[in-house]
Amino acid sequence: MGRAKKVVLAYSGGVDTSVCIPYLMNEWGVEEVITLAADLGQGDELEPIRKKALDSGASVSLVADVTETFVKEYGFPAIQANALYENRYPLSTALARPLIAKLLVEAAQEYGADAIAHGCTGKGNDQVRFDVAIGALNPSLKILAPAREWGFSREQTIEYGEKYGIPAPVTKKSPYSIDRNLLGMAIEAGVLEDPYAEPPEEVYQMTKAISDTPNEPEYVEIGFEKGLPVSLNGQAIDPVALVTQLNQITGNHGIGRIDMIENRLVGIKSREIYETPALLVLIQAHRDLESLTLTADVTQYKRGIEQTYSQLVYNGLWFSPLKGALDGFIANTQERVTGTVRVKLFKGSATVVGRKSDQSLYSLDWATYGEEDVFDHKAAEGFIYIWGLPTRLWSQQT
């Protein structure tokens, strides 16, 4: 008796996920492996990947182009949530996992599979995100993670694959572990494992080095409707095109690099390099527009919600009751977050230099120091007297 009969495997086309195919069949007695590769705008050619799965022993090789769903249903809600894990990482990798898990579960149901498999090792966050999301969507499916158990070194993995006709990678493997999609890149390993070592320029693919960026600033105008980015420089634009173009424009100014020590859910600290040019600028602009259109208490309360939201997403709880409840809160706050934000891009920094909205709560009549002032200055005295009363009483008491 094998561990499962029919398995849907999350497939990337790399050596590890390819080796999972014969491994599942020969070591774990799986009868049939169906692979699923997701196109999340990572820029890989999918046809060779589709074919490679079949060559590696898959009975069916599925490719799902979900870039638009990814941006609209995972990226944009995270922008509304101003989601930054540990105040820095905009979750580009973490957001992709629940979507892939959903596709895997749907495929398993369609093909009558009894298990889902993925190539994650036991040290990362992605295994958590896959396992938890799959369990939330269909608790009856088994989850198999060969790389969590096989204990192969890289050489052993390649050797195992060669036994089953999986060719060793022809190009010298990059020393880095890279995850990429339209929202960003995550880069680990190699020299980056020394947290004191500056990342070599070669790790960056989406952003220019400051020495190569334009010597003149560039401005972009991002239009939002109910908290969703809908236009760029005055032109209505669909989500995928918006992110693609904004990655290009902001990356060209060297914007979007992150170098951080991050706390993984499994307890270890890791050094991560990210490139998320568009996503970071969109969050920055969105947050600024909220400052103009939301009341003080909602803005401030939401900042706490955002932190919880970011942690939930990072920790694999996309499909969870608390996440659903926070979504409700966030959606409610976005009703009036409509307007335009002007951002200046120059030498690695994006600076919001203007914002406007028909729903603005900023009122010149109230804010001005000029003649138009309507603020009743005398009212301030009584307000301050009462506001400060608790501290006066406290001081009087000895």
Would you name the residues annotated as active-site residues? 16, 97, 126, 177
* Closest CB to ligand ARG among residues 25, 185: 185
Compare residues 222 and 273 and give the one whose CB is closer to ligand ARG.
273
Cβ neighbours of residue 351 closer than 8 Å, sequence gap 6 or more: 343, 344
Report in angstroms how near the CB of residue 189 gets to ligand ARG at its nearest: 8
Interactions with ligand ARG, residue window 334-393 (CB under 6 A): none
Shortest CB 155 distance to ligand ARG, Å? 19
Q: Please select the residue that binds ligand ARG; options are 39, 131, 272, 290, rule is CB under 6 A.
A: 272
Give, as ranges, the residues between 154 and 213 that touch ligand ARG (CB under 6 A).
Answer: 177-179, 186-188
**Count, residues near ligand ARG per rule CB under 6 A:** 11
Q: 274 a known binding residue?
A: yes
207 is an annotated ligand-binding site residue: no
78: region left, alpha or beta (phi > 0 left; psi from -120 to 50 alpha): alpha
**And the tokens for 386?**
């009462």
Query: Between 199 and 342, whose beta carbon lies closer to ligand ARG?
Result: 199
Residue 113's SS3 state is: coil
Examine residue 93 and tell whether it contacts ligand ARG (CB under 6 A). yes
Residue 177 annotated as binding site: yes
Which residues in the 17-46 window bind ligand ARG by CB under 6 A?
none
Q: Which two tokens stand for residue 325?
A: 């409840």
Q: How far is the CB of 190 from ligand ARG (least distance, A)?
A: 11
CA distance 7 to 68: 27
User: Does 288 count as an annotated binding residue?
Assistant: no
Annotated ligand binding at 188? The verdict is: no
DSSP letter assigned to residue 44: -
Please name the helix (run of DSSP H) or strand (run of DSSP E) that holds residue 60, with its range, or none.
strand 60-65
Smaller CB distance to ligand ARG: residue 142 or 169?
Answer: 169
Give whichever of 22 and 316 is closer to ligand ARG, judged by the CB atom. 316
The minimum distance between CB 271 and ligand ARG, in angstroms, equals: 10
The answer to the question of whether 342 is labelled as a binding residue is no
The reply, when asked if residue 196 is annotated as ligand binding, is: no
Closest CB to ligand ARG among residues 110, 202:
202
Q: How far is CA 30 from CA 8, 10, 212, 377, 386, in A?
A: 11, 15, 52, 78, 73
Give the closest residue to 8 by CA, choosing from 114, 162, 163. Answer: 114
The helix or strand, by DSSP H or E, that contains position 145, with its residue range, turns out to be none
Binding characters for ligand ARG, 94-123, by CB under 6 A (x = yes): x-----------------------------
- The 3 state secondary structure assigned to 161-227 is HHHCCCCCCCCCCCCCEEEEECCEEEEECHHHHCCCCCCCHHHCCCCCCHHHCCCCCEEEEEEEECC
Q: Which residues, including other chains, have CB under 8 Å from residue 3's CB and lie 6 or more apart?
A: 28, 29, 30, 115, 142, 144
Give the chain's length.
398
Residue 109 structure tokens: 């149901």
Annotated binding site: 10-18, 38, 89, 119, 121, 125-126, 129, 177, 262, 274
Given the rule CB under 6 A, which residues bind ligand ARG?
93-94, 125, 177-179, 186-188, 262, 272
Binding-site annotation: residue ranges for L-citrulline:
89, 125, 129, 177, 262, 274
